[in-house]
Amino acid sequence: MNWWRRAYNTLRIGTLAMVQRTLPEWPEEWIVRAQRRRIQAMVAHAYATVPFYRRTFDELRLRPDDIRDFDDLARLPLIDSLTVSTQADQFLSTCYDKAHLAFFRSAGTASGVCRICYQDPETLLRELAYCERDRPIWSRMSGKFGCQCQLYFMPPVSATRTTRLDWNARTVASSLLAERHFFRADATYDQVIDRLNAFRPDVVFSYGSFADLFFRHLADRRLTSALPRVWVYGGDGMLPGARTWIERKFGCTIWSSYQSVEAGRIGFECENRNGYHLNVDLYPIRILDEQGHALPPGEMGEIVVSNLINRGMVLLNYRLGDLGVLAAGSCPCGRTLPLLKQLMGRTSQVITLGDGRRMSELVFRKLAWDPLGKIMQLQFLHPAPGDITFRIVSGTNADRDAMARHVTVRCRELFGDNLHAKVEFVDSIAPTPQGKFLSLIH
């Protein structure tokens, strides 16, 4: 792309970014109005150009005018990664040549289903402006708003890396705001330390598990390294308590965002740690129970999202496979965007007790948390209801017997005869080819 086209893109996306920077503090009714406009526009586009939705509307005897706001979206069927991956062309708009759409793929390490998404080029570019809603937060934490040195430890095919490279190729401001360096997520810890010492970054981006394991390695081996002011993570999570431990021990602020392959930046973390502010005008979500009924704030359920801006592949009422809890009321920080109080893992990462109760694996991760950082990695084997094995990679000089007793005694106290728990110590737990770790194996 020539320089003049990149400059033009920079001007119009920069203008949009100035608006986006203020949107989280807009009056709630303004945000709802923007959401409603996008819903109506996307539904009309879907009916006119997307085979799946044309057929669905006709079968349900609905017209686009019947879907006017967020509540009306519930009249459309739920879809999931299996439906989309096996019928991808049915969700593509006939307005676009498939060859010209950006393609993203997730390995589906937790669900076993490869998640895919096609995105039209204009939406992909506009997402650069939408990032301005949260960029000031971690930029303020880093102490630098421009000319940042950023390091990314991501797989070569990650959506984050692909998107950033696209923005750099199509604008000039993206590369002026920061000097970005990309490295593989499977780098050894010595290589990571070398990169940090060489570039001395202001901000680092990685998966949550990558950051968690790296800081545990530093503590366990008593190593030192140049560290950024802010470490931003997404993609997967950390062990409970890891963030507080890292910030106290290393003085590096940990911050996260909530995004997916099928939707962009669904939410971003409040700096006051109240949860994730949700970009509901772009990607409204609802929390559903196992029967598909909407749950009120405070109750854990499955997150369902509608992408209101990607016109290349239309996904409405898409089951992300994540568990979450909405917060009640507004956030004291002053932003009017609603809050996702907590992410509770994946729907596939649920452990079933002997009496049939289903619980998020995060409950069991908290049981194993060691404030001294002596647990390096943790994985669960869950072959049958009421049966669980804690697979632990322990740190140097860790008291394995004490760890095992702590876990088994706590499980017995909390769950009694409904759970048979045992502990297995292993030398390592290998990541997937995409650099993530399977936390639960059924």
Instruction: Give 74: exposed, middle or buried? Use CB within 10 Å, 0-12, 13-18, 19+.
Output: middle
Alpha carbon separation from 413 to 123, 130, 316 (Å, rounded): 51, 47, 43
Cα(360)–Cα(5) distance, rounded to whole angstroms? Answer: 49
Same domain, 333 and 370: no
Same domain? 132 vs 150: yes
69-94 per-position pLDDT tens digit:
999 999 999 999 999 999 999 999 99
CA angle 355, 359, 362 (to 5 degrees): 145
Residue ending a domain, among 318, 346, 374, is: 346
In this predicted structure, what is the pLDDT of residue 53?
A: 98
On whether the CB atoms of residues 168 and 196 are closer than 8 A, the answer is: no
H helices of 143-221, where?
A: 159-170, 173-177, 189-199, 208-221
Give the number of domains in the chain: 2
Distance of CA 255 to the CA centre of its chain: 12
Domain that holds residue 428: 350-441
Q: Are 328 and 376 in the same domain?
A: no
Q: Which residues of the chain have pLDDT under 70?
A: 107-113, 173-176, 369-373, 433-435
Task: Please report, for the domain that includes residue 187, its CATH number.
Answer: 3.40.50.12780
Tokens of 372: 């001294």
Distance CA(35)–CA(204), nearest Å, equals: 32
Verify that 330 and 364 share a domain, yes or no: no
Between CA 321 and CA 220 the distance in angstroms is: 34
Q: Are residues 356 and 342 in the same domain?
A: no
Same domain, 101 and 118: yes
Across-strand partners of 204?
Answer: 151, 231
The CATH number covering residue 416 comes to 3.30.300.30
Mapping DSSP to helix (H, G, I), strand (E, B) and coil, where does residue 354 land? coil
Give residue 373's pLDDT.
54
Q: What is the pLDDT of residue 329?
A: 87
Domain shared by 144 and 174, yes or no:
yes
| Residue after which a domain boundary falls, among 311, 346, 381 | 346
Please tell me the distance from the alpha carbon of residue 156 to that of residue 147, in angstroms, as a whole number: 24
In angstroms, the CA 108 to CA 264 distance is 17
Amino acid identity at 265 = R
Q: Which residues pair with 441 in a beta bridge?
A: 381
Looking at residue 372, what is its pLDDT?
47
Q: Give 71: exposed, middle or buried? Use CB within 10 Å, 0-12, 13-18, 19+.
A: exposed
Contact 304, 318 (CB under 8 A): yes
Alpha carbon separation from 112 to 38, 207, 274 (Å, rounded): 32, 19, 32
Q: Are residues 317 and 356 in the same domain?
A: no
pLDDT of residue 33: 97
Q: Is the pTM of this model over 0.85?
A: yes
Same domain, 116 and 258: yes
pLDDT digits (tens, 9 = 90+) for 224-239: 999 999 999 988 888 7
Task: Name residue, tokens 């039209």.
Answer: 120
Given 292, 311, 346, which residue is the final one in a domain?
346
| Residue 284 sits in the same domain as residue 360 | no
CA 268 to chain centre: 9
Residues facing 92 on adjacent strands: 313
Q: What is the pLDDT of residues 115-148, one digit of tens each?
A: 889 999 999 999 999 999 999 999 999 988 878 8
Q: CA 387, CA 415: separation in Å to the nearest integer?
A: 11
Same domain flag for 331 and 401: no
Beta strands in 295-425 (DSSP E): 301-305, 318-326, 339-346, 350-352, 358-360, 375-384, 387-394, 420-425
Do residue 298 and residue 371 come from a single domain? no
